[in-house]
Amino acid sequence: MTTPIPRVMVPGSVRKNEVFTVKAIIQHQMETGLRTDSAGKTIPRKIINQFVCRYGGLEVFRTDLHEAVSANPFLEFQLLATENGRLEFSWREDGGATYSLFHDILVT
């Protein structure tokens, strides 16, 4: 149904040992599987069911999402800047599709 569009907001550079904020959003309908279409047929569930963030290859944040989460799920969390590295973000959808983004962070 939807063509999900993922997006993150992360500072370009952070000072070492400083806490920084990560914001992540994905345009997604989060179809609950509990609705019917105009013909009375159940619209199958299709939600983003998991979000993972890795920092330098190491998993640093993970959350499972469920039907009650709103459309366009928005997440905000904090990480500690340890070293230069790649932040990888991935959203997993029902049916197995994943949507990913990465962001290289400079630690000064």
Residues of this chain that interact with other proteins (CB under 8 A) are 1-3, 5, 7, 9, 23, 25, 27, 29, 35-39, 71-72, 74, 76
Contact 30, 73 (CB under 8 A): yes
Specify the residue, 58 or 74, whose C-beta has the smaller distance to other proteins.
74
Longest Cα–Cα distance in the chain = 58
Beta strand 85-93 pairing with 98-107 = antiparallel
Specify the residue, 57 or 95, whose C-beta has the smaller distance to other proteins.
95
State the nearest-atom distance from the C-beta of 96 to other proteins, in Å: 19
State the nearest-atom distance from the C-beta of 81 to other proteins, in Å: 17
Specify the residue, 1 or 57, whose C-beta has the smaller distance to other proteins.
1
Joined together, the tokens standing for residue 35 give: 């609705």
State the nearest-atom distance from the C-beta of 57 to other proteins, in Å: 25
**Can you point out the beta strands (E) in the chain?**
5-9, 13-14, 19-27, 48-55, 58-64, 74-80, 85-93, 98-107
